Each structure stands twice: as C-alpha cells, then as structure tokens.
C-alpha cells in the first residue's frame, strides 16, 4: 500500500509542452506512472510524449476528459500560483508543484484559496512523490528506490535520495517517499504526512528529514509524541548554520530560539524520535528501530 499516489493515480502535467515539463513527464510515464494528459493554454488538441498523451487547454478540460486526480506542475514561477489554483478549481485532489522561486506573496494567496477547496498541495519547490514500482510524480530518481514498508518525508530533495539510499543499503524499501519542499509557505506539512503513514497498514516506520528554520518539525514532534505508535527516525540539516543566514531553501533560516538544528533535535529526542546526527546513519537506525519493535 502507499499514501497519496499509486498505480491507479491518473496524472496530468501542467506545462507538459515546455522542456522541463516534457522531459520529466516522460520520465514519470516511463517509470509506469499513469500520465493521462497535459495542460498548456492554447495548445489543446495537440499531443505530447511522442503522441502518447493528449494536451488540453485547461485543467477542467483535462479532468473531464481523462478523470485525472493528480496534477504535476512545471510552470514558470510567475504563473505557478495561478496553475495551482486552476488545478484546485478543477477539483484535482492532489497537486504537486515542482516550481522553484514562486513569490511568497503569491503563495499566501494560494494557501488561502486552497482552504476553500478539497485539494491537497505538495510543494512548491519540491522533488514530488515516489511510490516505488507504482508511480513517480515529480523529479525523484525512481531507480534508487525499492518497494518496502518505510515512509519517507523530507524538506530536501537530495536528502530524500540519501535516505532512500541508506535504507536500501540495509535491505529496507519504501512505501512512499514525499519531498515537501523548503519554502516558507508549503501545502502539506510534516505532521499531516506522519499521520497518513501512521494510518497506512503497510508502513512500519517513518523517516522525517527537516532543516533549520520554522516550527514544522517541532509541531510534528509533538504530534508524534502524542499520537504515533510506529518508530520515527529524524534528521535535521543545517547543524552548523549561523543564526540569521539562509542556508539553501528560502525557509531555512534561523530566526527564533527553537529554529536551530540543535534545538529541534533536542525537542525531537524528548518526543521519542530517534534522531541521527548524520544522514549516513538513517538506514541502520531504522533497521534497529524495527528490530526492537518486533
């Protein structure tokens, strides 16, 4: 089983006729994802991916004609907020926005609009999702993952890949990997995904990778302490980052006492999370946690 996406997900790609959208849509298609169409205004009636999928002018058209329930967005930053809201207005249940550099003011509007809909947003500025051997929605390299029972949540794309590598190295696979993005305003928080993995009967353990800045990891840690029975292994990136300096992602900046790596790691440990000091220890720590649980 998995969360959010599986082999039955029907995926459309907004921006499919652009170079990035076309390339990654093709990668998702080749991996086995059920890419049923694309959306580019003014290009409705054409086809993409060498004639394998139809292109529509709007998300409404695409949903009506294909029954799509997932949208993958590769649209330039200036237009990405409108693309997200268009997908939500069309009733797309899951929206995955890869676009980096969307203005915070635009995302404030998106966040408010999404509250009026039933759509869930992953991202922006994220690598997307991967359910091994079923569906790839985004830019994660599918070949590094293997089917299994560990859920992965991460703010960082590259650290998602490292966590997957470390898990596979010790013989563990993944149920679903979710890159949530590191912008100041994102759609789906760590706490939401931890809850989904807890409720998934085929996920046995959870890996949660955060970074400096914001309070999302602390909120998730408190939720884990009070509600989660499955073992959780955590890592916080940016342990040497000085206060007030942005490190990588737009949201990765320490501006409060509890936003440093050390503070987050301390709170996470107090909440029962097995916190590792290096991502190289993720696989072995998850394996040990599962052995103790058995």
- Residues designated as active site: 249
Listed in sequence order, the residues at least 6 apart from 83 whose beta carbon sits closer than 8 Å to its beta carbon are: 14, 15, 73, 75, 97
The answer to whether the CB of 23 falls within 8 A of the CB of 48 is: no
Sheet hosting strand 11-14, strand order edge to edge: 47-48, 53-56, 35-39, 11-14, 70-73, 94-97, 120-122
The β-bridge relationship of strands 274-275 and 11-14 is unpaired
Q: CA angle 190-195-199, nearest 5°?
A: 145
Q: CA angle 225-280-251, nearest 5°?
A: 60
How many C-beta neighbours within 10 Å does residue 51 have? Answer: 8
The helix-helix angle for 282-293 and 157-169 (nearest 10°) equals: 60
3-state SS of the chain: helix, strand, coil percent to 5?
40, 20, 40
């Amino acid at each position: 089983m998995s969360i959010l996406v599986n082999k039955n997900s029907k995926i459309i790609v907004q921006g499919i006729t652009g170079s990035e959208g076309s390339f990654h849509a093709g990668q998702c298609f080749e991996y086995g994802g059920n890419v049923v169409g694309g959306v580019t205004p003014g290009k409705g009636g054409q086809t993409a991916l060498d004639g394998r999928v139809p292109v529509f002018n709007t998300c409404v058209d695409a949903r009506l004609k294909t029954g799509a329930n997932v949208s993958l967005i590769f649209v330039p930053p200036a237009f990405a907020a409108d693309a997200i809201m268009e997908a939500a207005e069309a009733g797309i249940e899951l929206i995955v926005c890869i676009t980096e550099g969307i203005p915070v003011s635009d995302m404030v509007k998106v966040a408010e609009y999404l509250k009026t809909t039933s759509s869930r947003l992953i991202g922006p500025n994220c690598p997307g999702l991967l359910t091994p051997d079923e569906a790839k929605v985004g830019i994660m390299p599918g070949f590094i993952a293997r089917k299994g029972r560990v859920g992965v949540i991460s703010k960082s794309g590259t650290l998602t890949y490292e966590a997957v590598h470390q898990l596979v190295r010790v013989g563990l696979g993944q149920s679903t990997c979710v890159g949530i993005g590191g912008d100041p305003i994102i759609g789906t928080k760590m706490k939401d995904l931890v809850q989904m993995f807890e409720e998934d009967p085929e996920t046995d353990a959870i890996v949660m990778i955060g970074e400096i800045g914001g309070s999302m990891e602390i909120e998730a840690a408190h939720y884990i302490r009070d509600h989660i029975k499955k073992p959780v292994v955590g890592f916080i990136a940016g342990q040497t980052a000085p206060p007030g300096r942005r490190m990588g992602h737009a949201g990765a900046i320490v501006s409060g006492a509890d936003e440093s790596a050390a503070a987050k790691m301390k709170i996470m440990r107090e909440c029962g999370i097995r916190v590792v000091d290096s991502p190289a220890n993720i696989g072995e720590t998850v394996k040990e946690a599962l052995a103790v649980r058995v």
